Structure 1
């Protein structure tokens, strides 16, 4: 049994990590503000703000953990302060970074040797965007934590509890009976189930070592069209998907990745969104459940969470989708294909 401190722990990945840790027999403490969600039953709940040094000092007073798992570090200056305080109160630090911390993603294929963004460990939230700040957070942990450090950089995470809303948006759209879809439908994707990532992180805690790993579903998992067919099967829908050329979508100023979630066009700046190496993670024990299971379980969770909205900028407004469908059909080139 390990004593584990989870920074976060109440939503999506943090919650999945806490749940997996308890199931594996570990003793879990969570540290969060109590604003984003409820903590998992069975953890020791501590309240506080990681940006408040007094809260951090109260957290660690008289305490020691085998490992810290940081699922919510986004600002290097904040992560630096926390790492300094935690350094003498834990042996191992697992920092959850992101594929966005790599300079070349999504324009070029990446592996662990690919360059990160340049961002200092004392940068604040005004010093950059999400990806560079994550790279700065990685440096913060390595510079200020004296024990062993594992950096885990996931690709795209989906599954029950997804708070971004990418897979939930598509599930709802497909369940409603139809939606536009972006060509090419045969483009392979890499979607990582949050529960598989949590298990992989816990394995790093149980066998601590200095490591720096990209974590993504292996290539060949599914195509975009196959994934939408899984969404249709899970929801019991029979949608007539209208497959639109990406040139048309870009002409209509559809924003890749967010307005059509997970759509990465083949133009240069998005060409390799799904070219994330998982070789090292697989060699260290990463296993991924069938994508069909992830889709079904997410739909079950979503139906039990009627108030779920996702992030504000995720998904296309219904009015814009209707305009696009009208414009596409007006070109005389619309093709409809049932997703089964």
Structure 2
């Protein structure tokens, strides 16, 4: 496991250990302690020779890589492991598709340009596509490109579901983006991890959009589950999308997880994931994801933000819209 101390990497390590796999993690040693039961190695993959020194010439059945930075790091790693591992699973993203993503898009949709030798990471979509090309170049049909969409669940360091849980835990009138039956499409990190390990067992490759079917849950079900699990008694005040738009509030970032039913963002919860379902991806119910994420937050606290911009709505902006809804 290249990584393994947070989010999908941590979920992969825990799932692999629970099924009896021998697991080696390679991390920089800055994001938390290694998993108990795994062989821990330390390396900074941005430093020349660091990974090779950590691998010590050993071999593995499979490698899973969650890298989200410069594609050149994936290029170096995949080349180094091409003759030492049987399979390479790269956690990519549906962000690789050309924007705006068409409604109902599947794995055949056009993708952005990417360069596997690029040392830059500012363009997330191009970086992920470059990482895909790097994995394919070294592993070919032994490379799985798991194009995840929205990833929720315990260990989520982007902070989308954690933000909602923390906000709803404070109680009181809470701005909720409507309509409540707006369908959602996402994957719990633990379901993604289990699926990738199964694909590793089969040696399956190719690009797969690894998120739930559209409508697996709704924003109403998700937020009601947050109210129930926190026990806060928060009052969800549903706002029409046009009211939110007039207030300059965006989906995805200001109000995480949700996107409006029209406009460029709408298709983020409308992908065709029939291929993932046919290859065995199974997604647990939303209330289970919410419950387990809250339990993790209560145990370990709010995660440290990643290098991405923080998500969530400013309290004063929420208060202004709530006041408008009362008028």
| Aligned match of 2:60 | 65
Coordinate RMSD, CA, aligned: 1.8
Q: Give the aligned length.
A: 324
Partner of 1:293: 288
Shift of 1:106: 4.4
Shift of the 106–241 alpha-carbon distance from structure 1 to 2, 3 Å rule, reads farther
Matched, 1:163 2:160: no
The SS at the match of 2:103 is coil
In the alignment, does 2:170 pair up with 1:173? no
Alpha-carbon distance, 1:191 to partner? 2.6
Q: Deviations over 1:142-173 (max 9, x none)?
A: 11346711111111111111111111111121
Task: Encode CA deviations 1:222-277: one digit per residue, 9 max, x unaligned.
Answer: 22112111111111232222222222222222232111111212332112111122
Does residue 261 in structure 1 map to residue 256 in structure 2? yes
Alignment partner of 2:4: what SS? coil
Contact 1:105 1:273 in 2 (8 A): no
Aligned to 2:300: 305
Q: What residue number does 1:201 align with?
A: 196
Does the 8 Å CA contact 1:244/1:328 hold for their aligned counterparts? yes
Corresponding position of 1:317: 314
- Per mean C-alpha deviation after superposition, the further-off stretch among 257-266 and 28-37 is 257-266
> Which runs of 5 or more structure 2 residues have no equivalent in the other structure?
none
Q: Note the C-alpha offset of 1:307.
A: 4.7
What is aligned with 1:77? 72
**Offset of residue 182 of structure 1:** 1.2
CA contact (8 A) 1:257 1:263 kept: yes
Normalized against structure 1, the TM-score is what?
Answer: 0.90
2:23 is aligned with 1:23? no
Q: Secondary structure at the match of 2:269?
A: coil
Comparing 314-323 with 200-209, which one deviates more in the overlay? 314-323
Deviation at residue 293 of structure 1 after TM alignment: 0.9
For 2:231 and 2:266, locate their aligned partners in 1 and report how far apart those are by CA, in whole Å. Answer: 32
Q: Give 3-state SS (helix, strand or coil) of 1:120's partner.
A: coil
- Structure 1: give runs of 5+ residues left out of the alignment: 1-5, 333-340
Distance in 1 of aligned mates of 2:201 and 2:140: 18
Equivalents in 2 of 1:209, 1:285: separation in Å?
A: 12
Aligned to 2:319, the other structure's residue is in SS state helix
Deviation per residue, 1:98-117 (Å, 9 max, x gap): 11111145453221111111
CA distance in 1, matches of 2:292, 2:250: 28
